[in-house]
Amino acid sequence: MRSVKELCPEAMPLIIDDSLPQKNLKVNIMAMGDVGGSLLMGLKLLGGDLIDTIGIFDIDENVTARYEMEMNQIGWPFGRKKLPKVKILSADNLFDCHMLVFCASRGVPPLSVSGDVDVRMAQFEANREIAAEYGRLAGAAGFKGIFAVVSDPVDPLCREVLTASGLKPGQVRGYGLGVMNKRAEYFASQDKRFESYLTEGRAYGPHGEDLIIANSVTNYDNQLSLELTKLTRTANLQVRQLGFKPYMAPAISSGAISLILTLQGEWNYSSIYFGMNGEGAFLGIKNRLKGDTVEFEDFPMPEELYERIRKAYRNLCLLK
């Protein structure tokens, strides 16, 4: 049996500067496109017990003006329940927060892109430059919070941010695996062959080509897992073939819900850094913030599953 710790045993644990407060948090969202807008809606509706204000920033001032008005007109009547306030940010106060959510993207593939194509990786060259730029700005601002990357491809962009910023590895996190878990659950609920995933399964790896879905952590079946992985990995293409960009489920499952779980110190699916001295990669895994430390789930696993994870990790390390 093998262990995920074997990927880079000397790199753990990951540390952040300080434990997050348990309420009145400030979360800022950078870029209010389809994903950013949907993520904002999720945080607004779900984050009331935890988040005090959500800051929004976009180069188009009309977009932020629209969201500020509409989001602050959403709420319960008669003061029954508090929801977070939404505020427009300037570039100068973008990093005045406990968590910055990076949703910027320059290269969303058109709907004409079809077939078994990893459209997420098609965005890497277009988005890496902007990720590095905002990483540098975070470092220059002395940012002490969590830099959460939601833009595709999540895992390589996290490394761009980390390298450019000089932030602690524990401060940078990627959010793409949450929706892969829910997509796997979606297919498992439709086919009894995969139903073990609903109670025993796990997701690992990048939000893309090297995704790993394990049908069960107690009774692992490699062939079933590979089949479920392919269904999960290509689910976004099915939505694109219907003529729509698949952003709602990622914005909520990978974004709003996973971000809230992170802020609460609860288990969630997100990408954390496995590496030393700038050599390594961000890998999606079940993890949580425990005080000022990042803790990830690890247990003895069969060789076939470990090798799938190791291969994904090595491919991410080689991606420059």
Tell me: pLDDT of 155 over 60. Answer: yes
Mean pLDDT of the chain: 93
User: Do residues 284 and 270 make contact, with C-beta atoms less than 8 angstroms apart?
Assistant: yes
Do strands 51-57 and 85-88 pair parallel, antiparallel, or not at all (unpaired)? parallel
Each residue's pLDDT tens digit, 191-239: 999 999 999 999 999 988 899 999 999 999 999 999 999 999 999 999 9
Residues above pLDDT 70, as percent of the chain: 94
Is the pLDDT at 278 greater than 80, yes or no? no
Asked if residue 96 lies in contact with residue 69, where contact means CB atoms within 8 angstroms, the answer is no
Q: Give every CB contact of residue 70 below 8 A, 6+ residues apart in sequence.
A: none
Domains of the chain: 4-179+238-318 (3.40.50.720)
Q: Are strands 293-296 and 279-290 parallel, antiparallel or unpaired?
A: antiparallel
Task: Quote the pLDDT of residue 96.
Answer: 98
Does residue 30 contact residue 104 with C-beta atoms inside 8 Å?
Answer: yes
> Which residues on adjacent β-strands are paired with residue 261?
none
Q: What is the pTM of this model?
A: 0.94
3-state helix, strand, coil in the chain (%, to 5): 45, 20, 35
Pairing of strands 268-276, 279-290: antiparallel
CA 283 to chain centre: 11
Distance of CA 215 to the CA centre of its chain: 22
Name every residue whose Cβ is closer than 8 Å to that of residue 121 and which is 6 or more positions away in sequence.
152, 153, 208, 209
Whether 151 shows a pLDDT value over 50: the answer reads: yes
pLDDT at 284 over 90: yes
Distance CA 19, CA 267 (A): 16
User: Mean pLDDT, to the nearest integer, of 136-165?
Assistant: 97
Question: DSSP letter at 301?
Answer: B
Which two three-digit tokens encode residue 115?
């077939």
Phi/psi region, residue 170 (left: phi>0; alpha: psi -120 to 50; beta: rest), is alpha
Q: Edge-to-edge, what's the strand order for the sheet holding 146-149?
A: 14-15, 293-296, 279-290, 268-276, 172-174, 146-149, 99-102, 25-30, 51-57, 85-88
81 burial type by CB count under 10 A (0-12 exposed, 13-18 middle, 19+ buried): exposed
Q: Residue 313 — pLDDT band, cuts 50, 70, 90? A: very high
Q: In 3-state terms, what secondary structure has residue 14? A: strand
Q: What is the mean pLDDT of residues 138-158?
A: 97
CA 107 to chain centre: 18
Look at residue 126 in the predicted model and tell me its pLDDT: 81
| pLDDT for res 107 | 59
Residue 254 has pLDDT above 90, yes or no: yes
pLDDT for 60-116, tens place per residue? 999 999 999 999 999 999 988 999 999 999 999 999 999 999 999 985 555 555 544
Q: What is the mean pLDDT of residues 179-198?
A: 98
Nearest to 102 by CA among 151, 170, 67: 151
- Rounded to whole angstroms, what are the CA distances from 262 to 15, 47, 169, 171? 14, 12, 15, 12
Main-chain phi, psi angles of 86, to 5 degrees: -110, 130
- The pLDDT tens digits for 2-44 are 999 999 877 667 888 778 998 999 999 999 999 999 999 999 9
What is the CB neighbour count within 10 angstroms for residue 217?
16
